[in-house]
Copies of this chain bind each other. A is one copy, B any other.
Amino acid sequence: MTVNAATTERRTAGRGRVTISDLAAHLGVTKSTVSRALNGYSDIAEATQLRVKRAAAQLGYRPLSHAQAIRTGRSRALGFVLQSDLHDGYRPFLSEFLAGMTHAASTENWTLTVAQAESEDDVLDTFERLIAEHKVDGFVLPRTKSADPRIDRLRAMDVPFVLFGRTARPDGCAWFDISGETAMAAAVARLADMGHRRIAHIGGAEGFHYTRLRAEGYRDGLRAAGLPWDPRLVCHDAAGHTDGRAAARRLLTLDRPPTAIVAAVDLAALGAYQAIAEAGLTVGREVSVIAYDGTPLAAYAAPPLTTFSVDSRHAGARLAALLIARIRGAAPEDLREVVEATLIVRGSDGPPVLTSHDLGARLAQSRAMGPLHP
């Protein structure tokens, strides 16, 4: 205290921030002691650790992550790169998702840096750059594909990452996901219970693993209900509104059309709405629809869409926590979580008012009389 009185006088320049040297001088120890005490090194006496930590809290000392990074190579930053050539630019959940990630990150005093890339190759380059410049310590990968080049690259670079979603070759991967397969199966079960016998599936964009899982869930649901799987009832690669409309149009020209549709994504379902209306039918009566995503606007469709809601904010928060754990060295096998989506029952599903046979007849008749004479 007496010896260090002079150095204690040294005023902190930068914005009044208290540095590790200030803290050390205040305590009458060296900054190396402070550093090791705060980082919990065992060669610092328990009592000293407590004293240092208490003083740090009291003086409001927070280490500069940049300064740490230069020595440790770790910047306490999570990376998130969004790929903007993915044509389904509609992401109402991004805001919630980011909020979850940054909230969870900030509780550990980590930050989130987001980058952007034009193409898949550009994403990989961005990974390289961000890692080379130590700007981030790991990545959260949204929208995982069954075969995902990003995973291969990060694995090769030995850079920590976590998936939002699952993938075909899961070795070395940590993830958080929402079970689209059980949701789709539950949707089929619900419709079968209502009396539907012809239930179609409009699948999501090809390549993404969730599309595969949801299609499997649809199949599982049929099997559990004792219904046959008919390839004519499943449509592939419907990413958006237009695709969904086209898919539903095709389904309604079938000899034995479906009386219910389970869509992998809300947007496709909303497209199907339009096709159903064009055919002179009413959603929720002649044709039931259940979808997945919980898009807010779907609540205002006519009729309001019955859909599975996902908690994007919670997903973001879990992913951030998992990634931090992964960076700290946890094994990826221990960092895998899958939760259930929750069904929001609204007005687009109900018992069939027509059998598939009668529905087919009615559609054939209206086609013969022209679309404007139902």
Binding site for B on A (CB under 8 A): 14-15, 17, 62, 64-67, 69-70, 73, 75, 77, 82, 84, 89-92, 94-96, 98-99, 102-103, 106, 111-116, 131-135, 241, 270-271, 274, 277, 296-297, 300, 302, 313
- Complex Cα distance, B96 from A4, in Å, reads 54
A114 / chain B contacts, CB cutoff of 8 Å: 98, 102, 112-114
Tell me the smallest distance from the CB of A190 to a CB of chain B, in Å.
26
Chain copies in the assembly?
2
Judging by beta carbons under 8 Å apart, are A91 and B90 in contact? no
Judging by beta carbons under 8 Å apart, are B92 and A91 in contact? yes
A64 / chain B contacts, CB cutoff of 8 Å: 70, 133-134
Judging by beta carbons under 8 Å apart, are B99 and A84 in contact? yes
Judging by beta carbons under 8 Å apart, are B99 and A116 in contact? yes
- Complex Cα distance, B111 from A66, in Å, reads 14
Majority-rule SS of A interface residues = helix
Contact partner of A112 among B95, B113, B271, CB < 8 A?
Answer: B113
The chain B residue sitting closest to A240, CB to CB, is B296
A69 / chain B contacts, CB cutoff of 8 Å: 66
A111 / chain B contacts, CB cutoff of 8 Å: 113, 115, 135
Tell me the smallest distance from the CB of A238 to a CB of chain B, in Å.
14
Contact partner of A82 among B66, B67, B99, CB < 8 A?
Answer: B99
Contact partner of A116 among B14, B98, B270, B297, CB < 8 A?
Answer: B98
A77 / chain B contacts, CB cutoff of 8 Å: 113
- Complex Cα distance, B112 from A135, in Å, reads 11
Judging by beta carbons under 8 Å apart, are A70 and B62 in contact? no
Tell me the smallest distance from the CB of A311 to a CB of chain B, in Å.
13
A65 / chain B contacts, CB cutoff of 8 Å: 66, 133, 135
Tell me the smallest distance from the CB of A263 to a CB of chain B, in Å.
14
- Assess A75 versus B82: contact at CB under 8 Å? Given A102-B116, A115-B102, A135-B111: no
A277 / chain B contacts, CB cutoff of 8 Å: 302
Contact partner of A270 among B70, B115, B271, B300, CB < 8 A?
Answer: B300
Judging by beta carbons under 8 Å apart, are A106 and B95 in contact? no
Tell me the smallest distance from the CB of A219 to a CB of chain B, in Å.
29
Judging by beta carbons under 8 Å apart, are A274 and B296 in contact? no
Judging by beta carbons under 8 Å apart, are B241 and A89 in contact? no
Given contacts A15-B131, A94-B95, A112-B115, could you give 20 more A-B pairs where the C-beta distance is less than 8 Å? A14-B73, A62-B133, A64-B70, A65-B66, A65-B133, A65-B135, A66-B66, A66-B67, A66-B70, A66-B75, A66-B134, A84-B313, A94-B94, A102-B115, A102-B116, A112-B113, A241-B297, A274-B300, A274-B302, A297-B297
- Assess A132 versus B62: contact at CB under 8 Å? Given A94-B95, A99-B82: yes
Contact partner of A94 among B15, B66, B91, B271, CB < 8 A?
Answer: B91
The chain B residue sitting closest to A17, CB to CB, is B132
A274 / chain B contacts, CB cutoff of 8 Å: 300, 302
